[in-house]
Every structure is written in C-alpha cells, then in structure tokens.
Structure 1
Amino acid sequence: MAFIDCHFFSETLGLSTAMYVILPQKTTGQIGMKGHVTGDKHPVLFLLHGMSDDHTIWLRRTSIERYVANLGIAVVMPSVHRSFYADMAHGPKYWTFVSEELPRIARSFFPLAEERERTFVAGLSMGGYGALKLGLTHPERYAAAASLSGATDVFEFATKRASSTEAVNIFGSTGLIPGSGNDLFHLADQLAASDQPRPKLYQCCGTEDYLHGANARFRDHCRSAGLELTYEEEPGTHEWGYWDKKIQRVLEWLPLNEAKG
C-alpha cells in the first residue's frame, strides 16, 4: 500500500486543508502483507471522522491500511473539523466541500474510479451521519454507505448534546433541521419516494452507546420507508475498540465483487 499525507487548497473552504489517502499497491516482497490491485483506477472508500477527531484518526486508531491491503481499494480520509458535514450557517461550507469538491480534487490527484458501483462511503459517529447523508443525498454516486455508531438524529444532537452556540453556528436555528437536507429521516423518505438507485446501507451501534436509541429509531424509519438496510448491534460503547472491529465488518460487507473493473 501507498500512504499519502496530502495537503491542498480548497476553493470552497477558502483555506488549505488535508486528507490522508491510502492507495493499493501490488506487492510480493513486503513482509507480513501482500498488496492487490484491481485495475488502472481503484475503487474508493471515502472514510469520515467523528466530531472530536480529524483526518488522521482512522490510521492512528485502527489498522485500516492493513485491512484494505488485499482488497485493491483506495481510502480517502478528509478533514472537516466539527462541521457535522454541513454548509455551516456561521462557518465554511463543509457539505459542499465533502460532497462536491473533495471527490473531484481527489480524483484529479489520484487514479480513483468515478463509477457509482466502485464508490463507497463510511464513517463513525459524526462521520457515520456524514456517510449516510452522502449516500441518501447522492444515491447516484455511491453504491454503499455505512455508519458506525452514527449520530443519526441530528435534531436530537443539536438540541440536547451540542452547546447552543455550536448548534447555531452549524445549523442556524435548530428549528430549520427537520425536513431539511441535514435531516437523515427526511432524506430517507425522499429516497424511498424517488426512482433513484438505492445504495446499500449499513448501520451498527453498540447497545451501551449513548447513540443507540437514535440508531434504533433511524433503523426502524428506514425499514418502514421500504429501504434495504443491514443493521447490526451488539454490546459496545462509543469507543475505538468497537469501531476497529466493525470497520473490518464494513469492508467485508462492501459490494467489492461488483466493483471490479
């Protein structure tokens, strides 16, 4: 595998930012790990961080590079700070950045596939919310979206868990969230009522996690709307031991056989 610490300028954010990128490399002499490549351009997983972390965290807290080495998949890990993957009411437009500019820039720098069936997104906590938001908003771009302990009820987060200042900075009035593009429940309903292709959806959460109730509500909402969703829960809290295990499960779940090109 190749690892790139990539720093670049974002026109959307108006500042320099960074992403970690893992690229497949076919190897035979690397001790303890054999690489795999599936084609000239690599299937890509956009892997999103949580609220207290940054683009470095997946590589620091898990063995994601080792987990993907034999899969022939690239991993792009951007930095979005505490934006909740939103075009902030009082701050930068991180949703536009991660949904539009980031994929375009990453593909201009690296040999990443552009086809929907070879493009995936996953994340944890705030990043789990971001992954589902991307998959539900742009089902024509993502074949699969996976949430690990995701903050699926952003209205609950904004009204009960965030400070009033932070919630206003991100969303403006919290009353604007329900029924908006920041509301996963609304986005699920929109997708269910459309003729858009439906990405595979995966959701997991530990039963002792403080976000378990919100995850169960979103699971039930998706199923009542008729969306296909793989849901898994088991004992666990909001911590990296759980996410290190479940990201391996996500990689097993991804439709990579359909992504070969």
Structure 2
Amino acid sequence: MAFIQMNILSQNLMRTVPVNVILPVDKQQMPGMPAREEKPYKTLYLLHGIFGNYMDWVTGTKIMRYAEEHDLAVVMPSGDNSFYVDHPEAMNNYGKFVGKELVEMTRKMFPLSRKREDTFIGGLSMGGAGALLNGLKYHETFGYIVSLSGAFLIEELPHRTNDTVNVLERRDYAESIWGNLDQVAESENSPKYLVRRIKEENAEFPEVYIACGEQDSLRDVNLDMYHFLKENGVNAVYESGAGAHEWDFWDTYIKRAMEWLPTENTGLGRNSGNVGI
C-alpha cells in the first residue's frame, strides 16, 4: 500500500495545501488471489472534521487497510475549519478546491478513473456536511457520497447569538463561514437548496450513504437530512448503531461505507500483518 504525503499549490485557496494519498499500486497478491486488471483506480476524496487535518483519517481509523482491501485510492486534503464552503472575497474557495481542483489535479498525477461512477466523496462531522454539499454541487463529478455524523447546521444558524463563550456556537463565527445566516438556507451552501435545484434541472443525483451514532447529538439532523433526501428522490441509505461523535464509530462505519460503495473488494494483499503463512 503506497502512502503518499504531498503539498500542492491551490489556485482556489492561493496557498500550499497538505494532502495525503493512499494508492494501492504496490499491492502484492496473496496466493490464490486473482491478479487485478490493469486499469485506473476508483477514488474516494475523504474530508476531515473541525479542528482536524489531512492526518486525521490515517491516525483515527484503519483507512489504509480498508482501502487496500477494496483496491481504492483515497485522497485526504486539509480543509482547515472551513466547512468546505467558498469564500471568494478572501480567495478561500474550499468547495471549488475539493469538488473540482483537487479532483482534476490528482487525476493528472495518479492513475485514477475519470468516470463519475468511480469517483466518490466522503467525510465526518464538518467533513460529512462538506461531502454532501460538494457531492451535490459537483454532482456531474461524484457518483457517490458518504456522510458520517454530518454537521448539518444550516437550519439552526439564523437562531444563533453571541451570548456564549463557545466560539463554535457564536453567531459571528458562523457568519465568518456562511455569510448572512438569514439567507444561507436558500444558497449554494445549503444541501437542501442544491437538492431542489438538481431536481428542477432533472439531473442525476449521486447516491448517498449517511450514518450517525445513536448517542450522537447530531443524530436528529442526520435523520432529518436522510428523510429529506428520500422524499426528493435521492437514492439514500441510513445506518446507525451504538456510538457518539468519536473515532470508534467512524472507524466502524467508514468500513461499512466502503462495503456499500461499488468498489472491487479483492481482499488484502501481502503486507507486514498478512504474510500468508
């Protein structure tokens, strides 16, 4: 399993961004395993949560093992605390970066499939919300979306005030991300707005996988988003189980999400933990 750490200069962010890439090009077949056909890899663009960075998925889950088992390339960028939305006035266009620029750049660099049905986007918490938002916004690029414990906050934003010491719940902090909180629900920063627009255009929706822990404070908004997607004709799946907003849950459900995605799933290759003896 090749693990590549790199820095790329982003036109949409006007700075250098660290990115991790998992690429199973060096996977050694175990005895009796069929050889993989020589072809581009299906790819999952995987987003971290708030306070995180490009290392989170590697240190918090067994993502490398799961990727090797499924012959899946995984691209993990740093997205700061941006919620992966665009801020054109500050040249911080995180949506354009993950939804367009990063895809185009990594396709030039690595043997990745350019097919929509082979291109996936996912994430957890802030990244789960960002994955759904940009998977819908760039629905011509992404065929599948994975959202774990998505921080779907749009509908409660207009009710925020600055009467709290928790910066993440302050109105001024939210405005620095989404702009006018009274207008965000009817903007491209709202997944529900994008669903309605795609429906009006009679375009094809990506398929969506949502999972959230039974003890997670975001459970209700995740269920609400799932029901909204289903009611509007999106092919969506919802799964839940014991767990809160934490890595044990995300490790379990990114594995389940990969089983849901249309990957090749040819099994683990020979490695230090799987020597075939």
Instruction: Tell me, yes or no, whether TM beats 0.5.
Output: yes
For 1:158 and 1:209, the matched residues in 2 are separated by 22
- Which residue of 2 is the match for residue 162 of structure 1? 169
For 2:7 and 2:172, the matched residues in 1 are separated by 30
TM-score of the superposed pair, with normalisation by structure 2: 0.85
Q: How does 1:169-248 map to 2 (within 5 A)?
A: 169-248=176-255
Partner SS, residue 84 of structure 1? coil
For 1:40 and 1:228, the matched residues in 2 are separated by 28
CA contact (8 A) 1:122 1:147 kept: yes
For 1:52 and 1:127, the matched residues in 2 are separated by 11
Unaligned ranges ≥5, structure 1: none
CA contact (8 A) 1:210 1:237 kept: yes
For 2:157 and 2:87, the matched residues in 1 are separated by 15
Question: In the superposition, relative to structure 1, how do residues 15 and 29 fare at CA in structure 2: closer, same or farther (>3 Å)?
Answer: same
Partner SS, residue 196 of structure 1? coil
For 1:12 and 1:253, the matched residues in 2 are separated by 32
Counterpart amino acid of 1:254? L
For 1:60 and 1:201, the matched residues in 2 are separated by 25
For 2:257 and 2:232, the matched residues in 1 are separated by 23
- Which residue of 2 is the match for residue 133 of structure 1? 133
CA contact (8 A) 2:210 2:236 kept: yes
Superimposed CA distance per residue, residues 93-127 of structure 1 (whole angstroms, 9 cap, x where no aligned partner): 11121112111111122111111011011110011
- Counting aligned pairs with the same residue, the percent is 35
For 1:35 and 1:125, the matched residues in 2 are separated by 37
- Which residue of 1 is the match for residue 94 of structure 2? 94
For 1:159 and 1:109, the matched residues in 2 are separated by 44
> How far 1:226 moved relative to its partner?
2.2
Superimposed CA distance per residue, residues 231-256 of structure 1 (whole angstroms, 9 cap, x where no aligned partner): 11222210000000000000000022
For 2:141 and 2:213, the matched residues in 1 are separated by 29
For 1:231 and 1:145, the matched residues in 2 are separated by 12
- Which residue of 2 is the match for residue 118 of structure 1? 118
Superimposed CA distance per residue, residues 198-244 of structure 1 (whole angstroms, 9 cap, x where no aligned partner): 21111011121111111111112112212221011222210000000
Counterpart amino acid of 2:14? G
Runs of 4+ in 1 over 6 A off after TM superposition: none
CA contact (8 A) 1:178 1:186 kept: yes
Partner SS, residue 249 of structure 1? helix
- Which residue of 2 is the match for residue 252 of structure 1? 259
Counterpart amino acid of 1:189? R
For 1:157 and 1:19, the matched residues in 2 are separated by 30
Partner SS, residue 152 of structure 1? coil
For 2:96 and 2:135, the matched residues in 1 are separated by 14
TM-score of the superposed pair, with normalisation by structure 1: 0.90
Partner SS, residue 165 of structure 1? helix
For 2:171 and 2:94, the matched residues in 1 are separated by 20
For 2:41 and 2:34, the matched residues in 1 are separated by 13
Which of structures 1 and 2 has the larger relative contact order (alpha carbons within 8 angstroms, sep 6+)? 2
CA contact (8 A) 1:3 1:20 kept: yes
